[in-house]
Amino acid sequence: MSAGRNEVSSLSSGEAGERIAALTHEIAEHDARYHGEDAPTISDADYDDLRAQLRKLEEAFPDLVEPDSPSKKVGSAPAGRFPKIAHRIPMLSLDNAFSDEDVAEFVGRVKRFLKISPDAPLAFTAEPKIDGLSLALRYEDGKLVHAVTRGDGAVGEDVTANARTISDIPDTLSGSSVPEVVEVRGEVYLGKQDFAALNARMEAEGKPTYVNPRNTAAGSLRQLDAAITAERPLRYFAYAWGDMSEVPRDGQLAMVELLAEWDFATNPLATRLETVEALIDHYRKIEEQRAALDYDIDGVVYKVDNLALQRRLGFVSRSPRWAIAHKFPAEIATSVLEAIEIQIGRTGALSPVARLTPITVGGVVVSNATLHNEDYIAGIGSDGQPIREGRDLRVGDTVSIYRAGDVIPKVLDVDLSKRPDGSEPFVFPETCPACDSAAVRDVNEKTGKLDSVRRCTGGLICPVQAIEKLKHFVSRNAFDIDGFGEKQAEAFHEWGLVTNPAEIFTLQQRDGKEGHPALVERDGYGETSVSRLFSAIDARRTIALHRFIYALGIRHIGEGNAKLLARHYGTIEALMQAAQDARGFADAAWDDLTDIDGIGETAARALVQFFEEPHNRSVVDELLASVTVEPVEQAASDSPVAGKTLVFTGSLEQMTRDEAKAMAERLGAKVSGSVSGKTDLVVAGPGAGSKLKKAAELGVETLDEDGWFKLVGRG
């Protein structure tokens, strides 16, 4: 649920910082899955809601905005499989409009910025928003030299060889007025009919079918073998430009028409309009045609047509002021709820899943949908108020399904007129289906309300949690053991060979013993593969502290928090001792833990509770008997700020906040996110607000950036 204005205003600075950190981490993970892995796990609508929550919090607490906030970023870093190319002009994303009122506000905002009368006409282009993969094409002297994906907006991947296989992308530009340097931007996509034919072929060959056209197009373009890309019928719509030695025409639509003259495919539904009413009317017409189009779209893009006005309007953070995407609402279809099943996640969360009579929604066959949690099934919102007019969901119900952003299906509503006689309310289990341990809903200490998620208390004795924790432990950003992935984690657990992470490192000495056949005797394993596996395990017997912390799978401790904890405590022993000393949640050790910049109370409490559990400590102790955890390199101890607690606030001009923080830590200082009686020094840039005021009240020394550099001998 979005953070409402009243809810945001009631937050303390510490609570807001904690929520911003959590949202930042979650958005970054989704960016990586969508832009870097072409495998989104959240709908566009839910993703947009996360960004809206972050934006509201940052507007209310501007001193908490970090330089690397997702609100200032586009996409995610390139995945590393292709050479990297920097965009000479960043490839930014667009702000979104979700209602007619949002469109009217956008037009009004543009006119106010340009000091144009509200009643004066202003021309905009309106064009369908293609749901594909953004691609920039650079031509020099009319010849294609590079094709680069969006990447993180600043740097993308060089997929030139693959792009040359797409028939809509010319190798040589033809026509008049071709500048010396031309960068064309557009969208790679897969037509609906071509997608259906591809899946039919895959099914006939007994191979897995693809989920949706967007991900298939993205995966096809990013194949390491261009011959595979050539087998996929990819298409390309050109709609914009980047770096140009000259821009031959003065209007957005006129430039798109020029792209067509240069032999690019452009969208025939693009048009030029002058009023809000005309924009919305065109949006409605395109929405009506959506199902009949042979390509997926998820909205309509409006752009100020006059290029001189575009230059005047400029950009804000990650998007242009002169353009906006008017998103379509989710597509809806009807199906029958055949069963409700409970799945168990790594953290013990019991997640209900709807099993549906298969139905096509947005061109994809849907047979499963998320049901969120037990309150959602009962028809109760996260605010405790009824949803769906208080109607619950029952097996046998006829339900409406939507795929917001054409990604994750969700159950929207139930048709009570079609409810079968004798149906019973669904009873959510209070014990874990996998291990029969109690499944409980914790009480949120801040709000006094029950958490929405019910969790198994079985921990590592729960087989499902144990398997998921093993998968996490060997994942890429944790121990990353070559040849020991998710399939091996499932198999070894099923065979009884590895039931917890520590047993990975004793696998070789136990091989063929304890009543288990040797690995070489099992299907899929030979002497060479077994030898390689054991060597890969041995290669991970020494590991960096932050990777070790992350691998433990502690709730609320992701990669970012793991790095913060590692940097602060330096050794695994110091971290474990700190967690033990902070068990009272109210003493000096607790204050030291929660004073770490970026570590909120929720994450701190989860860390303490993890090490408080005897079976967790036992597994960690077993791990430490087999694994060497490298300490973090010690910071300088002879600097003028060694041992002091610092706070950076305001808009730093000579360094980013991360650079400042890293510098301070190298010099032996601790960096905190809030000013308190323990703060020794505040470094304030322009725009510093509440933190600077509090420092004055507490008599804490303050410096500007020049003073900081002079203090540490860098001036």
Active site residues: 129
Radius of gyration of the chain (CA): 28
C-alpha span between 157 and 77 (Å, rounded): 9
- Which of helix, strand or coil describes residue 338? strand
C-alpha span between 79 and 645 (Å, rounded): 37
CA dist 126 to 93, 186, 252, Å?
16, 15, 10
Q: How many Å from the N-terminal Cα to the C-terminal Cα in the chain?
A: 47
Q: Name 84's bridge partners.
A: 157
- Tell me if 578 sits within 8 A of 592, measured CB to CB: yes
Residue 574's CB: how many other CB atoms inside 10 A? 15
Q: Residue 284: phi, psi to the nearest 5?
A: -65, -40
Of 143, 169, 150, which is closest to residue 226 (Cα–Cα)? 169
Place of tokens 């009643």: 119
Strands 645-649 and 670-671: parallel
C-alpha span between 708 and 715 (Å, rounded): 8
* Cα 541 to chain centroid, rounded: 31
Q: What is the token pair recorded at 612? A: 């408080």
Strands 542-544 and 628-630: parallel
Place of tokens 């432990």: 473
Burial of 180 (0-12, 13-18, 19+ CB in 10 A): exposed
C-alpha span between 695 and 652 (Å, rounded): 17
Q: Residue 648: phi, psi to the nearest 5?
A: -105, 135
539 conformational bin, left if phi > 0, alpha if psi -120 to 50, beta if neither: alpha
Residue 314's CB: how many other CB atoms inside 10 A? 10
Which H or E run contains 226? helix 226-231
- Tell me if 480 sits within 8 A of 542, measured CB to CB: no
Count CA atoms closer than 13 A to 13's CA, side-chain side.
15
Which H or E run contains 133? strand 133-140
C-alpha span between 195 and 189 (Å, rounded): 10
Residue 644: DSSP 8-state: -
Q: Residue 706: phi, psi to the nearest 5?
A: -60, -40
C-alpha span between 585 and 604 (Å, rounded): 9
Q: What is the token pair recorded at 292? A: 């009949």
Which H or E run contains 455? strand 455-456
